Amino acid sequence: MSLAGIILLCVAAAVAAPMYFNRFQGKDNRYLYAASAVSLVLLGVAGLTSSLGEGGLGAGVYAFAVAAAALGGGPPTVTILRLSFNASHPENSIDPEDAPVLRGGAWIGVLERTAIAATLLAGWPEGLAVVLAVKGLGRYNELGQAGAAERFILGTFASVLWAAAATGIAVLVR
């Protein structure tokens, strides 16, 4: 059962991979929402499968988990950001796609999730605080823009939760 858990985790990440090659533009992006839903369901099934297994797979599982943490969190994070956008709010006079706030977020997210998974798997949970502090300091000047702080917090929470879940599955499998 443990092998099935890590395979499902990798499939969840593979579903998300096209996001990094195609820009998800427009409000009616069914692929983004479908990829997010499929990834989250696969993540849940992977966790359940892993918790029912005996474990005992080698440390190589960690490499797959870090890759799944890095790549798989993109669609759920973008979906949360899209769903949280309130076009009727007075500060949101334009679509965030027209005037991007916090550019480079997708690639920063990949690096963030990689670092989070690596620090957790290394048994250094304090590394999580270091990663988030570096990210916050790097974005500090931009957080004064309208809506930037909210997008930063939502994106960071979604990204960290995905990475922690992928890491937890690896720990269960190992």
Tell me what pLDDT residue 104 has. 66
Task: Collapse the DSSP code of 164 into the 3-class scheme (helix H, G, I; strand E, B; otherwise coil) and give the result.
Answer: helix
For the segment 114-171, what is each residue's pLDDT rounded down to a tens digit?
999 999 998 998 998 999 888 888 777 777 776 777 888 888 899 999 999 989 888 8
Percent of the chain topping pLDDT 90 = 11
User: What confidence tier does 3 reach under pLDDT thresholds 50, 70, 90?
Assistant: confident
Domain that holds residue 91: 2-173
pTM of the model: 0.76
- Are residues 69 and 162 in contact, defined by beta-carbon separation less than 8 angstroms? yes
User: What confidence tier does 87 reach under pLDDT thresholds 50, 70, 90?
Assistant: low
Domain count, the chain: 1
Tell me what pLDDT residue 130 has. 92
Tell me what pLDDT residue 160 has. 92
